[in-house]
Amino acid sequence: MRSFAFNVAYWIVSIGYGLTAAFAALAPGRGPASWVIRRYVKRMVQAMSIFAGIKLDVRGKDRLPAGAFIIASKHQSWGDGFATYDQFDDIAFVTGDHLEKFPLLGGVLKKLGAIVVNSCGGHEARQALAMRAAEARAENRKILIYPEGHLAPVGKKFKYRSGVWHMYRDFEVPVVPLATNLGLFWPEEKYEKHPGTATLEFLDPIPVGLPKDEFLARLEAVIETRTAELVAQATGQPVTPAVLINTPIK
C-alpha cells in the first residue's frame, strides 16, 4: 500500500508541478521556473516521508566549503535528485538527455540551467558538459553530477567517468563526494518502496590540483567506501565492497 500511495502522489505532484513549471519557463529569467521546481522537490521529499515512509538523515553539511563547488554523488535511486536538490537554494545539475523525451520538460530544464548531455558520452558530450557547466560556474552555482552516469543497484558500481575531473580541473573548485544508501529504500527506478531512514552524507571536499588518475581513484574510493558502510549500517550486514558491472549501452 505504501508503494501504491506514493506512486499515486508522485504522479499527481509531478504532473501538477510539471505543468506549472512549463508555464513558469515562459516568463523571463530563471527565477519563476526555479521557484516552482524548488517547491516541487520539497513536496516530493515530503511525499517520500508521508506516503513511502522514507525519511532522510542528512549528514556532513558542516563539511561544505564556502563559494562554488561540485557535488559528485553516488546514484542508487531516482529519489537521489530530490533528496540532494532539496539541500540547496540554487543548484545546477548534470543529467542525461533521456529526460528531454518527456513533453515540456526540455524547456524547463533549459530554463533551470540544467547541464543536459548525451547519455552515451563521447567527445560531443564532453564539449556540451564543459560549455553548460561553464555557464553555471559563471553564475557561481553549485553543480551536482553523478560520476557513474547511471543508476547503480545497491552493492554495484559502474566505472567512474572523467567528466567530473574535467570540470574540477577547468573551474579550479573543490569536489564534495556524496555517499548514500537511499537505494535500499527506493531502489533505482523501481515501483516498490521500503520504509526506513535513508542517509545522505557529504564527505570531506577533495581540494583542487590533483592529477586525473589520482583524483578519480580518490573520488571513487571515498564514495564507494562510505556508501558500503552506510548500507551495512542500515542492514546490519558486514561492509561489502561494491562489485564493478558493465556500463549499459543505450
* 8 is a domain residue: no
Cell readout for 200 is: 545522505
Q: Cα dist. 194→39, 153, 185, 198 in Å?
A: 24, 15, 5, 10
The per-residue pLDDT for range 155-196, each reduced to its tens digit, is 999 999 998 998 898 888 899 999 999 999 999 999 999 999
Cell readout for 21 is: 513549471
* 38 is a domain residue: no
Q: Kind of pairing, strands 142-145 and 70-73?
A: parallel
- Give the closest residue to 117 by CA, choosing from 97, 134, 137, 143: 97
* pLDDT at residue 26 in the model: 87
The per-residue pLDDT for range 25-38, each reduced to its tens digit, is 888 888 899 999 99
Domain that holds residue 96: 55-242
Q: Cα dist. 105→2, 17, 142, 198, 239 in Å?
A: 27, 11, 21, 28, 39
201 in Cβ contact with 230 (< 8 Å): yes
* 248 is a domain residue: no
3-state class (DSSP) for residue 123? helix
Across residues 94-121, what is the average pLDDT?
Answer: 67
* pLDDT at residue 132 in the model: 66
The Cα angle at residue 22 between residues 106 and 38, in degrees rounded to 5: 95
Across residues 91-111, what is the average pLDDT?
Answer: 70
* 238 is a domain residue: yes
The per-residue pLDDT for range 124-159, each reduced to its tens digit, is 666 766 676 677 777 778 899 999 989 999 999 999
- Stated pTM of the model: 0.90
The per-residue pLDDT for range 206-240, each reduced to its tens digit, is 999 999 999 999 999 999 999 999 999 999 999 99
* pLDDT at residue 42 in the model: 97
* 50 is a domain residue: no
Across residues 57-82, what is the average pLDDT?
Answer: 95
Ordered alpha helix ranges (H), the chain: 2-24, 31-50, 80-85, 105-112, 123-138, 163-171, 212-235
95: domain CATH number is: 3.40.1130.10
Sign of the torsion formed by the C-alpha atoms of 32, 177, 132 and 135: positive
Q: Cα dist. 23→34, 108, 189 in Å?
A: 12, 9, 27
3-state class (DSSP) for residue 16? helix
* pLDDT at residue 141 in the model: 80
* 20 is a domain residue: no
pLDDT band at 114 (very low <50, low <70, confident <90, very high): confident
Instruction: Round the average pLDDT of the chain to a whole number and report it.
Output: 89
* pLDDT at residue 68 in the model: 84
Cell readout for 141 is: 552555482
* pLDDT at residue 98 in the model: 61
* Sheet with 54-59, edge to edge strand ranges: 54-59, 196-202, 175-180, 70-73, 142-145, 91-96, 115-117
* Domain count along the chain: 1
* 32 is a domain residue: no
